[in-house]
Amino acid sequence: MLTEERYSIILAKLKSFETVKIQELIDITGASESTIRRDLTELEKKKFIKRIHGGARRMERKMDEPGMGEKSVKNLHQKQRIAQEAARLVEEGDCIFIDAGSTTSHMIPYLPDQEIIVVTNGLMHIEALMKKGIRTYLTGGLVKPKTNALIGRGAIDSLNGYRFDKAFMGTNGVHYESGYTTPDPEEAQVKAAAMSLAREAFVLADSEKIGEIAFARFGELNEAVLITETLEENAALYKDQTSVKEVEI
């Protein structure tokens, strides 16, 4: 079977199913495991698929954005561990920004019982921060119903009144060439503004975000420390550009 035929079969399979295993592709194509692995590597370089352990996953479309309900239950254990590691970086007296997002929301229970200040554009964070007794400021801006994030000029204007010790950001995509990305350009502007106002910035991303590219970029890799699970594919390409804090799951 020709290489292009195998590519077509792999992409057709991923059009019907979100993921596919290497063994399935071996069975369908009759090719060897080493051949299928080379095919997947090439398709990933062309940004058609994303390699995962034991197979491949289709790339998200640039404007795809799951709602908070879907995001809050996906990869829950990984997000909790990443968030726990991020919360350990918060010290007494810190003024921090916590970005709207499902992974960053899991930081709140692990924040230290010390005097800190939190600024956030995430409406979903408020109840947990209040229960924790943390002094909290909410940005202005337009409410984005799908993610409960405050975005737009109002959010950026209010952010400009603050300076942060640390900013903790969520993301939809992390890529060694395209940096940190999110589907919504307005939300990207808020993220970029918050990062620029912080002495240190951290991006929290579970492994499914690694290699993904969404529509709007909000930062280069070297603008933030990446907190994620162990990098398997192309690890050196990420570590050459920024500090990576790998979390054991």
Q: Give the side-chain half-sphere CA count within 13 A for 14.
A: 26
pLDDT for position 244: 95
Characterize the bridge pairing of strands 225-229 and 244-247.
Answer: parallel
Spatial strand order in the sheet of 19-21: 19-21, 55-58, 49-52
8-state DSSP, 21: E
Q: In this predicted model, what pLDDT tens digit does every residue of 175-207 receive, in sequence order?
A: 999 999 999 999 999 999 999 999 999 999 998
Whether the CB-CB separation of 72 and 140 falls below 8 Å is answered with no
pLDDT for position 14: 86
From CA 160, how far away is CA 100, in angstroms rounded?
Answer: 17
pTM of the model: 0.78
Hey, what are 212's tokens?
């993904």
All domains in the chain, ordered by first residue: 3-58 (1.10.10.10), 68-247 (3.40.50.1360)
* Nearest residue to 156 via CA among 114, 186, 198: 186
Whether the CB-CB separation of 43 and 56 falls below 8 Å is answered with yes
DSSP line for 30-61? ---HHHHHHHHHHHHHTTSEEEETTEEEEPPP
Q: Which of 4-8, 35-39, 58-62, 140-144 has the lowest mean pLDDT?
A: 58-62
pLDDT for position 223: 97
Whether the CB-CB separation of 44 and 51 falls below 8 Å is answered with yes
From CA 13, how far away is CA 21, in angstroms rounded?
Answer: 10
* Nearest residue to 167 via CA among 214, 101, 232, 123: 101
Query: Can you name the residues that pair with 228 across neighbouring β-strands?
Result: 246
Q: In this predicted model, what pLDDT tens digit does every residue of 105-136 receive, in sequence order?
A: 999 999 998 999 999 999 999 999 999 999 99
Query: Measuring CA to CA, how many Å separate 180 from each of 45, 49, 116, 223?
Result: 18, 18, 27, 9
Query: Measuring CA to CA, how many Å separate 132 from each of 112, 115, 124, 202?
Result: 10, 11, 14, 22
| Average pLDDT over every residue of 19-36 | 91
Q: What proportions of the chain, in percent to the nearest 5, are helix, strand and coil?
A: 40, 25, 35
pLDDT range class, residue 9, cuts 50, 70, 90: confident
Q: Could you identify the residue written with the tokens 């709602």?
A: 67
